[in-house]
Amino acid sequence: MALTPHQIVVLAVAIEIALLGIAAVVEFSCRKKRPPSASQPAGPAPGRPDIAQTAAGRGGPLSAGTPSATDAQPEKLPLGAAGTAPTSPAPETRARAEAQPPARAASSAAPNGTQPAPAGGPIRETADSAPTADAGSLRARRIFHGVGKTRAKLLAVITGVLGRPGAPLAETCEQLEEALIAADVGVAAAAKLVGQVKQRLAPGATPEQVRQALKEAMVRILQATARPPADPGEAPLVVLVAGVNGVGKTTSVAKLAAKFKAERGPVVVAAADTFRAAAIDQLAVWCRRAEVELIRQQQGADPAAVAFDAVQAARSRGAKTVIIDTAGRLHTRTNLMEELKKIARVVGREIAGAPHERWLVVDATTGQNAISQAAVFTGALELSGVILAKLDSSARGGVIIAIADQLGLPVRFVGLGEGLEDLQEFDPAEFCEALLAEERAQGEQVEALRPAAA
């Protein structure tokens, strides 16, 4: 009798189910007869979480001494280059890492007292890792290495100019001016520097005399813009930080917060960049690292309202410093510049004289473009200083001298790396010494750059 198509399908399914059942019975019988291997460790199969790990992933009860997933929040990592946070590890992975014995965790510590390197970054030297060097020498060493690219570019030409004893002074100065312009010192500042060198030196001056005269001329230009830091009295110090997109403004705010916290006490940071996507989250990550309070609202909120809340919070909690992070904006956008003025007006009504400091963050890699940025922001905010970020990544650090000469603005801080400790106070003498210093042994560098005793 012929089977219908429907009956054929039913029969095929029944046969497949029967075969699967037979295979399962055979496998169970084989496992029951096979004794466990002595070398096989007890516990869950490789690649499978144990009961405690599975419970941690579900937020359920764990064994004694094991923290639950709800007891502590996992540390958030810094934002990536695209402005998004990296993917967090799976709960099972976190539980397994927390359950590691202390000996393994201790083995990851770096030798010689240095801090272990963060993910994706080198080990950084701290004051604790060099007990024989004081803070001044460590700062000088960082400045020396931070201006390394600018120094290499400048000295590549200057060494050739100064390495010809007996050359006419006029010819030497002409080539020296070209070298300064190439290092983004600026045409006007280069001409002023070379003019001062000519006045100080007589024909037949040695290369070292020319170098020393140039160094002293640079220091004079930079020191002429020096201003004492603002003193708000008993009120919190309010610092407004501005800058165009991508100059390192948000990270500079976090570094400032860490520095002011160590020097002055509690700090409140205002997340007034409510325009850029993920800007508030990025600042929140940095503030957790620096262990400072962050006042924030939703994206798209009024930046002046955020600044107002931060000032009120600082007053009520006794914070000594308020740092306002503003949205990055093109210096050619008039409406956004007006927003900065509004923030300044709002905080000025709450605290007399606020914002006491108005700092512009500029990218050292932009060279002379930083001059035009600073000029426009000065007209809108009456800037009191400049933070030069990414100096360690640029060969155009000579723009510091151009900013001081053309705009009369002091450089307050320079960024020499990505760590919280890598924002250094700017010292004109140290900078010029490092910029024109010859390559020497490390010990000689530190001693030569050490600030003179008071």
Instruction: Give CA angle at 240 (238, 244), nearest 5°.
Output: 170
**Is a pLDDT exceeding 80 seen at residue 278?**
yes
281/84 Cα distance (integer angstroms): 9
d(C-alpha 192, C-alpha 183), whole Å: 15
Work out the number of other CB atoms within 10 angstroms of the CB of residue 51: 13
Q: How far apart are CA 178 and CA 288, in angstroms?
A: 46
pLDDT confidence tier of residue 140, bands split at 50, 70 and 90: confident
The alpha carbon of 356 is separated from its chain's Cα centroid by a whole number of angstroms, namely 24
* Contact residues for 37 (Cβ-Cβ < 8 A; gap 6+): none
User: Does the pLDDT value for residue 37 go beyond 60?
Assistant: no
- Judge contact between 63 and 52, C-beta under 8 A: yes
pLDDT at 437: 79
Residue 304 pLDDT more than 60? yes
> Phi and psi at residue 238, in whole multiples of 5°?
-105, 120
From the number of C-beta atoms within 10 Å of its C-beta (0-12, 13-18, 19+), residue 281 rates as: middle
pLDDT, tens digit, 9 for 90 and up, residues 359-413: 999 998 888 888 888 888 888 888 999 999 988 877 677 888 999 999 899 999 9
Q: H-type helices in 291-441, by residue range?
A: 303-317, 334-350, 369-381, 399-407, 428-436
Residue 291 pLDDT greater than 80, yes or no: yes
CA angle 432, 358, 284 (to 5 degrees): 100
User: Taking a C-beta distance cutoff of 8 angstroms, is the pair 364, 431 a contact?
Assistant: no
Full DSSP string of 101-142: -HHHHHHTSPGGGPPPPPTTS-----GGG-TTS-HHHHHHHH
CA distances to 130, 140, 417 from 124, rounded to whole Å, are 11, 15, 10
- Residues whose CB is less than 8 angstroms from the CB of residue 232 and which lie 6 or more positions away in sequence, other chains included: 238, 351, 353, 354, 356
The average confidence (pLDDT) of the chain is: 74
pLDDT by residue (tens digit) across 336-359? 788 899 999 999 999 999 999 999
pLDDT 10s digits, 402-444: 999 998 999 999 998 888 988 999 999 988 888 887 655 333 4
Report the DSSP pairing between strands 357-363 and 321-326: unpaired
pLDDT at 182: 80
Q: How far apart are CA 72 and CA 67, in angstroms?
A: 8
pLDDT on residue 255: 96
pTM as predicted? 0.65
For residues 295 and 323, what is the distance between their CA atoms, to the nearest angstrom? 10
Determine the pLDDT at residue 395: 64
Kindly give the interhelix angle for 334-350 and 303-317, rounded to the nearest 10 degrees: 20
Give the HSE-up count for residue 113: Cα atoms under 13 Å, Cβ half-sphere. 8
Which among 324, 330, 303 has a CA at the least distance from the CA of 246? Answer: 330
